[in-house]
A and B are shown apart, each in its own frame.
Chain A
Amino acid sequence: QVQLQQWGAGLLKPSETLSLTCAVSGGSFSGHSWTWIRQPPGKGLEWIGEINHSGNTNNNPSLNSRVTISVDTSKTQFSLELSLLTAADTAVYFCAGGRKVTVPAANKYYYVMDVWAQGTTVTVSS
C-alpha cells in the first residue's frame, strides 16, 4: 500500500521560497501522478500542480509562474518550490497521489487522489 510522508519549513518570510518534499513508499511510483494541494485557513482545497514519474508537469495557471515541481525517481520523492511568497500563501500544504482511469462502458473517466500525506502548515509572516 502506497504511503506518503512530507516535510519542509513551516515558517517563512514574504518574498522567500517555500520548499516541500514528499517521499513515496510501499507501491509503484509510476502508478500515480504526484500532486500538491493547499488549503488556506478556513477555506477549501486548491490544486497547485502535479508531476509524473517521467517528469511531465501540469500546474494551476493562477500559480504557474511561481511553482516548480520536480521528481527524483531514484529516491521516489517529489518536491514543490513556490517562490515570491506573500501572506496569501499561508496554508496547509498536502502532497497526494492521483490516478486517472478510463471507464469505457460509460465513455467517461474518473480521477481519484487515493493517497495523501499528513500535510504541512506553512505560515508566511514577517
Chain B
Amino acid sequence: SSELTQDPAVSVALGQTVTITCQGDSLRGYFASWYQQKPGQAPVVVMYGENKRPSGIPDRFSGSTSGNTASLTITAAQAEDEADYYCNSRDTTTNHLHVIFGGGTKLTVL
C-alpha cells in the first residue's frame, strides 16, 4: 500500500506565509484534498482538486502539486488558522480501492 507523508509540526508568525506539504506516490495520480481540524471538531475540507476552495474557505488558502508532492499554502496566516491539517487521496497501488491520509501537520500561529 501507499503512504502520504507530512511534517508533524509547522509554525508561522501571525500574518506571515506558511506552506504545509504532503508527499506520496499516489499523488502522481490524485490531487490531494486538505482538511483542517480544530480540537474537538470534525475535519473540514479547505482545499481539493486542482486548487479548489469550498465556499466559505478564505482565499488566503491555496494549493499546488508538483510530481508526488502536494502543498497547502496559507498566505497571511491568522490566529484562527491554528489547527491540525491532513492531506488525503485514494491509494493508486491498490487500484484506487483504499483511502489514505497523511499523518497530519500541527500548525502553530505565533
Interface residues of A (CB under 8 A from B): 35, 44-47, 50, 58, 60-61, 94, 98, 100-101, 103, 106, 108-114, 116-119
Interface residues of B (CB under 8 A from A): 1, 29-33, 35, 37, 42-45, 48-50, 54, 84, 86, 88-90, 96-104
Say whether A108 contacts B31, CB under 8 Å: yes
Say whether B42 contacts A100, CB under 8 Å: no
> Across the two chains, which residue of chain A brings its CB closest to B28?
A108
Say whether B42 contacts A117, CB under 8 Å: yes
> Across the two chains, which residue of chain A brings its CB closest to B54?
A114
> Across the two chains, which residue of chain A brings its CB closest to B102?
A44
Instruction: Give Cα distance in the complex from A118 to B35, angstroms.
Output: 15
Say whether A110 contacts B42, CB under 8 Å: no
Say whether B98 contacts A47, CB under 8 Å: yes
> Across the two chains, which residue of chain B brings its CB closest to A114?
B45
